[in-house]
């Protein structure tokens, strides 16, 4: 084999596809431009054959407010269209062909690929990452995404705590009513920190004054405008020449990334493996980024350890990234569904060699609120 493309020739088997809807309580609520969330409701796909079970997590939200995908729809899509079509697939490539036929729904399709890939890895010890030719790191630098907070005191407290925990970037969620005085009240603490902002597509031309203030921090502004509102982006870019844009929601495939890049709509990419439809597409995006000198880092969606451990493997292929949104599970959940929760050192690194991806079936069952087993 000479490249990760050849890995798609790997034969696969499938006896049962499992759909596990979990509801994992969060330690605290999280407010962003999207809304408020209190627990992680998600679909976990299991892929079983030859006595081995692989798992894949669908990162999208239960509601359609981040992207068009939503949990109940993901379950229906797999049940009615993907599972029946998988019956004839006998290689990795054929599974991707089944998934490619479905328009949209990248997170859901990716979860099926993740489960299959996990099964393949547990069965053969081989993974698509083995065929990546570029450099990689063993320790992955981590940043934290901070929800919109109610007052200056909580901002100071969080900033102090997260700096002490070692996070290498503090990413603040913002929206059009974001109160900059809260940040000013923490200016002394933020001075030596790497600060960035994520608007989750909520800003418009009217928010130029806010954008002007945010760019003073010198970092890219993540998904400032709603996806595909090129006119707004152009207008704000013209009004605020220092604006650097990091795209998230807008980029759902390599094709969309190329288009946005050619149109001058981004300076860096928050790559969520699920959002672009999976592992294979993500590796193609990594190659494009390397060729074009486009900075890429890996984003998260509050995954459980199942999704997080995969995100971390992808992040390891980006040696130049300063920080990825991949906080350890303990930040969100009292209990994860891996046997051993993922942990971060006080210098903000997660050591991949210490990540054990074994799922605890008892914990998975404990947090499962709906389950379907589809027999192939």
Give the footprint of ligand OSB on this chain (CB under 6 A): 66, 145, 198, 200, 248, 299-302, 325, 327
Nearer CB in complex with ligand OSB: 120/344 = 344
For residues 305 and 371, give the distance between their C-alpha atoms in angstroms, rounded to a whole number: 19
Give 260's contacts (C-beta < 8 A, 6+ positions apart): 247, 250, 251, 266
Counting residues that bind Mg ion (by CB under 5 A) gives 3
Q: Per-residue x/- mask for Mg ion, residues 260 to 279, rule CB under 5 A? A: --------------------
Q: Which residue is nearest to Mg ion (CB)?
A: 248
Q: Which residue is nearest to ligand OSB (CB)?
A: 300
Nearer CB in complex with ligand OSB: 325/336 = 325
By DSSP bridging, strand 296-298 and strand 52-58 are unpaired
Nearer CB in complex with ligand OSB: 93/163 = 163
Give 85's contacts (C-beta < 8 A, 6+ positions apart): 98, 101
Nearer CB in complex with ligand OSB: 69/118 = 69
The residues facing 221 across adjacent strands are 197, 245
For residues 247 and 35, give the distance between their C-alpha atoms in angstroms, rounded to a whole number: 19
Q: Per-residue x/- mask for Mg ion, residues 206 to 225, rule CB under 5 A? A: ----------------x---
Nearest to 326 by CA among 295, 351, 350, 360: 350
* CA terminus-to-terminus distance, the chain: 30
For residues 294 and 186, give the distance between their C-alpha atoms in angstroms, rounded to a whole number: 31
Nearer CB in complex with ligand OSB: 56/300 = 300
The residues facing 372 across adjacent strands are 19
Among ligand OSB, Mg ion, none, residue 69 binds (CB under 5-8 Å by kind): none
User: Dihedral of CA 26/28/33/34: which sign?
Assistant: positive
| In the complex, minimum distance from the CB of residue 337 to ligand OSB, in angstroms, rounded to a whole number | 16
Among Mg ion, ligand OSB, none, residue 304 binds (CB under 5-8 Å by kind): none
Among Mg ion, ligand OSB, none, residue 113 binds (CB under 5-8 Å by kind): none
Nearer CB in complex with ligand OSB: 98/159 = 159
| In the complex, minimum distance from the CB of residue 126 to ligand OSB, in angstroms, rounded to a whole number | 28
Among ligand OSB, Mg ion, none, residue 341 binds (CB under 5-8 Å by kind): none
- What does the DSSP 8-state code read for residue 220? P
Strand order, beta sheet including 296-298: 144-146, 170-173, 195-198, 221-222, 245-247, 268-271, 296-298
248 binds Mg ion (CB under 5 A): yes
Q: What secondary structure does DSSP assign to 39-92, as a single string?
A: EEEEEEEEEEETTEEEEEEE-S-SSTTSSS--HHHHHHHIIIIIHHHHTT--BH
Among Mg ion, ligand OSB, none, residue 300 binds (CB under 5-8 Å by kind): ligand OSB
Among Mg ion, ligand OSB, none, residue 302 binds (CB under 5-8 Å by kind): ligand OSB
Among Mg ion, ligand OSB, none, residue 66 binds (CB under 5-8 Å by kind): ligand OSB
Among 113, 118, 198, 303, binds Mg ion (CB under 5 A): 198
Among ligand OSB, Mg ion, none, residue 18 binds (CB under 5-8 Å by kind): none
The structure tokens 């050591």 sit at 351
Q: CB–CB of 248/222 below 8 Å? A: yes
Nearer CB in complex with ligand OSB: 198/268 = 198
| In the complex, minimum distance from the CB of residue 141 to ligand OSB, in angstroms, rounded to a whole number | 13
Nearest to 99 by CA among 209, 24, 8, 190: 8
Among ligand OSB, Mg ion, none, residue 145 binds (CB under 5-8 Å by kind): ligand OSB
For residues 54 and 315, give the distance between their C-alpha atoms in angstroms, rounded to a whole number: 21
For residues 335 and 351, give the distance between their C-alpha atoms in angstroms, rounded to a whole number: 20
Nearer CB in complex with ligand OSB: 7/169 = 169
69 binds Mg ion (CB under 5 A): no
| In the complex, minimum distance from the CB of residue 296 to Mg ion, in angstroms, rounded to a whole number | 14
Nearer CB in complex with ligand OSB: 224/289 = 224
The residue ranges that bind Mg ion (CB under 5 A) are 198, 222, 248
């Amino acid at each position: 084999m000479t490249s990760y493309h050849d890995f798609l020739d790997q034969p696969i088997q499938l006896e049962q596809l499992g759909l596990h809807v979990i509801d994992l309580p969060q330690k605290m609520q999280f407010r962003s431009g999207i809304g408020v969330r209190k627990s992680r409701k998600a679909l976990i796909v299991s892929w079983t054959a030859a006595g081995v079970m692989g798992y894949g997590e669908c990162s999208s939200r239960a509601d359609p407010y981040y992207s068009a995908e939503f949990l109940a729809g993901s379950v229906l899509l797999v049940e009615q269209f993907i599972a029946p079509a998988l019956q004839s697939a006998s290689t990795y490539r054929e599974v991707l062909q089944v998934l490619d036929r479905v328009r949209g729904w990248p997170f859901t399709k990716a979860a099926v690929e993740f489960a299959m890939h996990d099964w393949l890895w547990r069965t053969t010890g081989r993974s698509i990452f083995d065929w990546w030719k570029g450099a990689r790191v063993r320790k992955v630098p981590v940043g934290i995404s901070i929800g919109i907070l109610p007052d200056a005191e909580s901002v100071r407290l969080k900033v102090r705590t997260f700096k002490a925990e070692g996070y290498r970037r503090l990413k603040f969620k913002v929206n059009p009513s974001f109160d900059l005085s809260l940040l000013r009240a923490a200016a002394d603490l933020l001075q030596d920190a790497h600060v960035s902002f994520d608007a989750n597509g909520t800003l418009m031309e009217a928010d130029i004054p806010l954008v002007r203030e945010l760019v003073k921090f010198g970092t890219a502004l993540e998904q400032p405008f709603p996806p595909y509102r090129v006119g707004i982006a152009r207008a704000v870019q013209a009004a605020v020449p220092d604006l650097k844009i990091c795209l998230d929601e807008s980029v759902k495939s390599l094709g969309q990334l190329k288009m946005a890049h050619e149109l001058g709509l981004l300076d860096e990419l928050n790559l969520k493996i699920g959002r672009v439809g999976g592992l294979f597409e993500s590796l193609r995006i990594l190659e494009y980024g390397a060729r074009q000198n486009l900075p890429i880092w890996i984003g998260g969606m509050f995954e459980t350890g199942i999704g997080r451990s995969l995100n971390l493997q992808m992040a390891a292929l980006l040696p130049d990234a300063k920080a990825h949104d991949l906080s350890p599970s303990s930040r969100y959940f009292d209990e994860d569904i891996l046997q051993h929760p993922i942990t971060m050192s006080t210098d903000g690194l997660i050591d991949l060699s210490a990540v054990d991806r074994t799922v605890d079936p008892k914990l998975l069952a404990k947090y499962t609120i709906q389950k379907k087993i589809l027999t192939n």
